[in-house]
Amino acid sequence: MKIAVRYFTRSGNTEKLAKAIAEAVGTQALTTDEPLKEDVDILFLGSSVYAYGVDDNIKKFISDIDVKVGRVVNFSTAALIKSTYKQVAKLLKEKNIAFASEEFYCKGSFGPMHKGKPDADDIKAAAEFARKVVEG
């Protein structure tokens, strides 16, 4: 099974999850600056929100996808909202790319809010989540 991990991060929170997920499923965590170069069965895509929207890098990465993606599995951090699931699902729907109903989300530190998040437990949970997704 071919698996890819892509993420966008500004302050490193989502990157922590991306690295844990990639390690758990035996691949590399790359940023959304690296377009997909070959078809994949599962794409773990990590994002967060900045003023209620996902970053333009995520929008561009999705818009530029020109390979076959079996399904996208969302993971995200945010301070206030529950996850980026809805925003990312909308972008993928516009591209007719399948989107898994399962996702991973945890709080991400933002100024004085949620200090230390994602923490060790979140990172462990993200890795566990990824293993379960891949094992089906």
Alpha-carbon gap, residue 62 to 54, rounded angstroms: 12
With left for phi above 0 and alpha for psi between -120 and 50, is residue 87 left, alpha or beta? alpha
Using the rule CB under 6 A, give the single segment among 27-35, 58-66, 85-93, 106-114 that binds ligand FMN. 106-114
- The reply to whether 35 sits near ligand FMN by the rule CB under 6 A is no
Q: Compute the radius of gyration of the chain from its Cα atoms.
A: 14
Q: Which is nearer to ligand FMN, 50 or 100 (CB)?
A: 50
By beta carbon distance, the residue nearest ligand FMN is: 108
Q: Which is nearer to ligand FMN, 112 or 136 (CB)?
A: 112
- The reply to whether 116 sits near ligand FMN by the rule CB under 6 A is no
Q: Which is nearer to ligand FMN, 75 or 99 (CB)?
A: 75
Interface of this chain with ligand FMN, residues 38 to 57, rule: CB under 6 A: 48-52
Name every residue whose Cβ is closer than 8 Å to that of residue 50 and which is 6 or more positions away in sequence. 10
| Count of residues making up the chain | 136
Which tokens belong to 10?
């500004």
By CB under 6 A, the count of residues binding ligand FMN is: 20
Name every residue whose Cβ is closer than 8 Å to that of residue 85 and which is 6 or more positions away in sequence. 74, 76, 103, 105
Footprint of ligand FMN (CB under 6 A): 9-15, 48-52, 77-81, 108-110
